[in-house]
Amino acid sequence: MELLLAVVVGGLYASGLYLMLRRSLVKLLLGLVLLGHAANLLIFSAGGVVRGEAPLVAPGEITPPPGAADPLPQALILTAIVIGFAVVSFAAVLARRVFEVTGTDDPAAMENGS
């Protein structure tokens, strides 16, 4: 299972970087989304893909039971999803405004002043 996740993460990173190198703001945004998903999946797979019980501490105990799932990667991914959504939303509004002003979504044409 870890090998499959590693291949999927690598594919997402590769396709995200490929899209970010294209000459279009829309493709740049899609590449940014793919990189965010790849980072989330990487954190998830680094946390360990195990089926464990909830990390609830029983009354009178000071540690969760052995074999409990680690809640830290899940919390990190949840935070990353919210931050990623905010970044992509801001970038989409910015790209739309740039297109309205310049009339193109080609970064090279924007640089030349066309």
Residue 99 belongs to domain with CATH number: 1.10.287.3510
Evaluate whether residue 22 is within a structural domain: yes
Q: What is the pLDDT of residues 70-114, one digit of tens each?
A: 888 889 999 999 999 999 999 999 999 989 988 888 887 887 765
Asked whether residue 100 is assigned to any structural domain, the reply reads: yes
* Residue-level pLDDT at 113: 64
Six-digit token string for 36? 């965010």
Residue 84 lies in a domain: yes
By residue count, the chain amounts to: 114
Q: How many CB atoms lie within 10 A of CB 19?
A: 19
Would you say residue 56 has pLDDT above 80? yes
In terms of residue numbers, what domain contains 88?
A: 2-50+70-112
- What mean pLDDT is predicted for residues 53-62? 86
Do the domain assignments include residue 62? Answer: no
State the total domains in the chain: 1
* 41 falls within a domain: yes
Q: Looking at the domain assignment, is residue 63 inside a domain?
A: no
Query: What pLDDT is stored for residue 17 in this prediction?
Result: 96
pLDDT score of 114 = 55
Whole-model pTM? 0.79
